[in-house]
Amino acid sequence: MSVAPNRRALLQGAAALLLAPAAQAATGPVIKLRLLETSDLHTFDEDYDYFRDQSDETVGLTKVATLIRAARAQAPNSMLFDNGDTIQGNPLADYVAQPGNFPADGVHPTIRAMNTLGYDAATLGNHEFNYGLPFLITALQGAKFPLCSANLLHADGTPFLPPTLILERSFTAEDGSQHDLKIGVIGFLPPQITDWDQGHLHNRVQTIDIVDAALHHVPALRAQVDLLVALSHSGISTAPRRGGEENASYYLAAVPGIDVIFTGHSHRVFPGPDYAGMDGIDATRGTLGNVPAVMPGFWGSELGVIDLTLTRQDGRWSVSDFSTATQPISERADQTVTSLAANSPAIDAAVAPEHAKTLAWIRQPIGHLTRPVNSYFALIGTDSSLALVNTAQTWYARPLLPASAAGIPVLSAAAPFKEGYQSPDNYVDLRTGTIAIKDVADLYMYPNTVAAVLVNGAELRDWLEHSAEIFNKIDPQDPEPQPLFNRYVPSYVFDVISGITYNIDITQPARFRAHGKRDERAHRIVNLRYNGQPVTADQQFVVITNNYRADSGHITRNPDAVLLRAPDQTRDVIVRYILATKTIAVETPAIWSFAPIGSPVAVTFESAPAAAAFLLQQHNITTLGDAGDGYAQFVLTLS
């Protein structure tokens, strides 16, 4: 493959191609062509949140379909493309992928829904491989639209799919004349799939750099077509090019000969403020370099629209003007969601059988808990809910760690999200016995993905010092009960890190405070040990966590510390862990406790009234009764 091109040379090439003189356009026929994009649908065919078991007006191809219909009605000429991450991403996908559950008609429900919409072409995303190649191939066989991928090859180097497509379409010009045009399509996915799904893909497929693949295929395709559309299942980043980029769409735009780029993978919206101020990107007009581009959110939240004006000169068509937009299916103002699109009856009917079966499945047991799992005392040091999350995410992430992590101890961090915030009903409370998929949303309510960071012992201690902010400073001399929690600190900061042991000394001031203030001399984390030995400041650890924490910037200043940005949501990982393990031996590992104070001190805290039923194991906690607003008050005696 070719050497990575010089960025400036590429940008100049792209600019030269796009400087079609609009002023001369009036002399020949003018075609207005509307290109529509869906991306990262992730089997959100319906407007439904299967984890919460309730409808959700912010998601669903059924609603995008209504926008597609309206967008087509306004345009004499249009084409529709999908950008991948199509057959995985919610419990409907997991249901269909379970052995014996593939639809009898041989068509994956999302593909069946897409078939009703008349897609012109599509490409693959990274998540297409999560259930293995045979499943993917079966799913693709049902598609009534062509797919392409230019940087995905079989292990022997032959293309997995056609690298490019040439679509012949007849369009109506503004003057009513008909014109036959050839539309070239080229597709790309993140080359990292061979790491992320190595269990399915090792020795079966290989990937190449997105820009290299484009440089290899675009010139020949360009020579045969009137318009060239890139389907880039890849995000937008202007970080210096190193080769092998996961988010390569900006550098792809600099490959001469590409007229339009549909992007995705990052689950963001482009044009839009997420990309404002980036060098070479117009986040208002929607251009990468000078190439029009869109990214339509995720889960069917938006429809991407690129309107082109094509003019012909000397027998050649070129883009003389364009506009880009994304159209949302809903609008959110404060707590209120307003739907902007009705459901499509055709999509609802197409996926009705699998939607119904998925509803039954999420309500059915998928595993068994040997003991109750609840978060009533997750901030007191006795917890099974975070233990389950830590076990599942370590099970998933450990095999994905890079070779550079070999021999380094692997820890795991998780924080309680459902810890009574805003409502006394807002706790994890799973009984002994069966666990269903909809229960997993209780264990992990945010759509975070799994990540891993490399930290040293000092950074690990500071990480825990951040957790310890949640406690008030306790006066050991005060004979009156003292409130334990600083309720200005949300429970999601309280990471419990498994694989080590430590004590929290709440008679000391917090090292970290609100607004980034820190007290360098303060320490609450004491007796920090790994394998029973004190942790040293320069000792190395890998900590499995989520993308949000890994990218927060306060764990470490080392830009290379993030060893893994896994493509999967923690919630999906927990489902996979339960499906694979079946019987979950619930643990309440002794990870941390309050440091001994030396004399009895009473601290009070609130939890749900239901927590009282679990006090039997908590010999130093007693109930004080009603705390108002539906909470119960408890007293913990430290000594």
Which residues contact Mn ion by CB under 5 A? Answer: 40, 85
Residue pair 550/452 in contact by the 8 Å Cβ criterion:
yes
Query: Which residues, 6 or more positions from 394, have their beta carbon under 8 angstroms from its beta carbon?
Result: 410, 412, 498, 544
Residue pair 115/122 in contact by the 8 Å Cβ criterion:
no
Distance, in Å, from the CA atom of 266 to the CA atom of 412, rounded to the nearest integer, reads: 25
Q: Pick one of Mn ion, Mg ion, none as the site partner of residue 438 (Cβ within 5 to 8 A by kind).
A: none
Q: Is the peptide bond before 271 cis (omega within 30 degrees of 0)?
A: yes
Q: Pick one of Mn ion, Mg ion, none as the site partner of residue 549 (Cβ within 5 to 8 A by kind).
A: none
Q: How far is the CB of 566 from Mg ion (least distance, A)?
A: 12
**Ranges within 425-454 binding Mg ion (CB under 5 A):** none
- DSSP track, 94-109: HHHHSTT-S-TTS--H
Distance, in Å, from the CA atom of 586 to the CA atom of 435, rounded to the nearest integer, reads: 12
Q: Pick one of Mn ion, Mg ion, none as the site partner of residue 367 (Cβ within 5 to 8 A by kind).
A: none
Q: Which stretch binds Mg ion (CB under 5 A): 119-127, 168-176, 291-299, 377-385?
A: 119-127
Q: How far is the CB of 236 from Mn ion (least distance, A)?
A: 14
Nearer to Mn ion, 46 or 85 (CB): 85
Nearer to Mn ion, 289 or 300 (CB): 300
Q: Pick one of Mg ion, Mn ion, none as the site partner of residue 126 (Cβ within 5 to 8 A by kind).
A: Mg ion
Nearer to Mg ion, 233 or 524 (CB): 233
Pairing mode, strands 410-414 and 540-546: parallel
Nearer to Mn ion, 40 or 49 (CB): 40
Nearer to Mn ion, 124 or 591 (CB): 124
Nearer to Mn ion, 124 or 252 (CB): 124
Candidates 378, 259, 242; CA nearest to 19 is 259
Helix (H, G, I), strand (E, B) or coil at 535: coil
Candidates 380, 393, 556, 369; CA nearest to 462 is 556
Q: Pick one of Mg ion, Mn ion, none as the site partner of residue 110 (Cβ within 5 to 8 A by kind).
A: none
Q: How far is the CB of 119 from Mn ion (least distance, A)?
A: 17
Q: Pick one of Mn ion, Mg ion, none as the site partner of residue 469 (Cβ within 5 to 8 A by kind).
A: none
**Ranges within 247-266 binding Mg ion (CB under 5 A):** 265
Distance, in Å, from the CA atom of 42 to the CA atom of 162, rounded to the nearest integer, reads: 23
Q: Pick one of Mg ion, Mn ion, none as the site partner of residue 39 (Cβ within 5 to 8 A by kind).
A: none
Q: How far is the CB of 274 from Mn ion (least distance, A)?
A: 15
- Residue window 121-140: x/- pattern of binding to Mg ion, with contact defined by CB under 5 A: ----xx--------------
Q: How far is the CB of 139 from Mg ion (least distance, A)?
A: 16
Nearer to Mg ion, 39 or 467 (CB): 39
**Ranges within 75-114 binding Mg ion (CB under 5 A):** 85
Distance, in Å, from the CA atom of 257 to the CA atom of 291, rounded to the nearest integer, reads: 10
Pairing mode, strands 78-82 and 121-122: parallel
Bridge partners (DSSP) of residue 456 are 540
Residue pair 214/234 in contact by the 8 Å Cβ criterion:
no
Distance, in Å, from the CA atom of 87 to the CA atom of 110, rounded to the nearest integer, reads: 7
The residue with its CB nearest to Mn ion is 85
Nearer to Mg ion, 126 or 546 (CB): 126
Distance, in Å, from the CA atom of 111 to the CA atom of 47, rounded to the nearest integer, reads: 16
Interface contacts to Mg ion, rule CB under 5 A: 85, 125-126, 265
